[in-house]
Amino acid sequence: MFATLQDRLEATFKRLRGKGRLTDADIDATCREIRIALLEADVALPVVREFIGHVKERARGAEVHQALNPAEQVIKIVHEELIQILGGDTRRLRFAKTPPTVILLCGLQGAGKTTLAGKLGRWLKEQGHQPLLVAADLQRPNAVEQLEIIGQRAGVAVFAPERGSGVGDPVDVARRSVEYAKSKLYDIVIVDTAGRLGVDEEMMRQAADIRDAIQPDEILFVVDAMIGQDAVTTAEAFRDGVGFDGVVLSKLDGDARGGAALSVRYVTGRPVMFASTGEKLEDFDVFHPDRMASRILGMGDVLTLIEAAERAFDEKQAAEVADKLKTEKGFTLEDFLAQMQAVRRMGPLSKILGMLPGLGEVRDQINQIDDRELDRIEAIIRSMTPAERADPKIINGSRRARIAKGSGTTVSDVNLLVERFLEARKVMSQLSQGKGLPGMPGLPGLSGMPGVGGGGRKGKKGKSKKQRAGRSGNPAKRARQESVAASESSDAAAAFRSPLGGSDLPDLLGPSAKAPDGFELPKEIRDLLSKDGQ
């Protein structure tokens, strides 16, 4: 959603980098670009004015002019001001001293209240609570049935004594739900109320009557983040007509410009508490202003990524996999499949990679990642027998044909998966044992291979300048160097096996890759060594 704003801000800050000193003209030009970027993102004008005013005031102060890197100081100021605009500290739910805690959801029709009720219920259940969803939207056709289906998918109980579709009293349903929750020991009640296509007196009166009947501990206003400035107008109307304690942004995964998220907190004075970032029930989390500000500035969101990984990966299983990697052959395709499924539980790959810092320039490539490729990999692995998953090297031609047919893929797809798995397992095993990457300069492994590592720029015949410069002009010393290089290359060639587990690869390293047992110095060098007594 914030892609356009992020691109504009990155382009603006790129012009600042490299300047040792910022003048007032530089600061004015930067603030002008930021103002344009915010207005294009549909941020409310009063918000833009205050934001730019604070940035200018701080950018002209001592913290920038006395800094060693003034450009980074300006970026830091923009980041901190974005956090303040978004709400400062993270706002958590307030729970009642005596259960149940009552949460009332309100908002326009189509904002996603019913789906969000299920998401909130599922999230609270994961936190150890026993939530109850209440179908108090008796206006919209099939709203009760929709909430029952969502509650079943989320594993959360639903209180729905009336079938709705214009029949029943929502105030009475809400009142009875609280008594029902007390009798059944539910500690949280989430009331889904009716919405309208627009703000009207009847809607406000009904929401106010439900509020007075159940005295909720939290009133959450659900707003569609894609409707731009109308979100701010609607939020003001609900604040004045019903009142609410916090805002929930839905559809943050849309392609709108995102101005509502930056405006609604400032205009209403109420914090954004939760954000819905997708259609699935698990696409829901607490809204963190500091993390959102980091995403907008292209700094990534590593903390959210870590939290998602902690939820998706089992700590005991991860420790077992780490032990298996130390032996290389202990890590099987079955383990790989389990780890891949854990990654998928974190969400789409494009979303995961989008949380990493510094990947803004390749956003288009990230967005083109197709998660169906993981489905094909899973299908291939599941078409293998347990023995084949444990030892992929036994997979011969006939087995590959059978696996390809069973998974609906091609033999080349099976070949590619097996080859990549074996290569990756070898590298991970070496890393887990502290041996470093093969061929990397300064690390054990294949550092003796010609044309690999070395750290210098490649020159003629595949060797770096550093390699060619290190060759001695003394014939005797040069002979010893060649002998050592030949020995190292031989060791490297022995370690370099076919990814399919077959015989050694062809002699890619030339004559120098052979073992130096039969190595013999030229006659001229032997004569020179005998004369020097060496």
Binding residues for GTP: 107-114, 192-196, 250-253
Contact predicate 430/437, CB 8 Å: yes
Q: Where are the beta strands (DSSP E) in 116-228?
A: 131-135, 157-159, 188-192, 218-224
Full strand arrangement of the beta sheet holding 246-250: 157-159, 131-135, 188-192, 101-106, 218-224, 246-250, 272-276, 284-286
- Relative orientation angle of helices 259-268 and 70-86, to the nearest 10 degrees: 60
Convert 79-94 to b/e letters by CB count within 10 Å (16 or more is b).
ebbbbebbbeeebebe
DSSP state of 275: E
DSSP state of 47: H
CA distances from residue 130 to 149, 273, 380, 465 in whole angstroms, order as listed: 18, 20, 40, 68
Binding residue ranges: 107-114, 192-196, 250-253
**Tokens in use for 199?**
């703000």
Sequence-ordered alpha helix ranges (H) in 98-159: 113-126, 143-154
272-276 and 284-286 beta bridge pairing? antiparallel
112 in helix, strand or coil? Answer: coil
Q: Tell me phi and psi for residue 104, to 5 degrees.
A: -105, 125
Distance, CA of 289 to CA of 90 (rounded, Å): 6
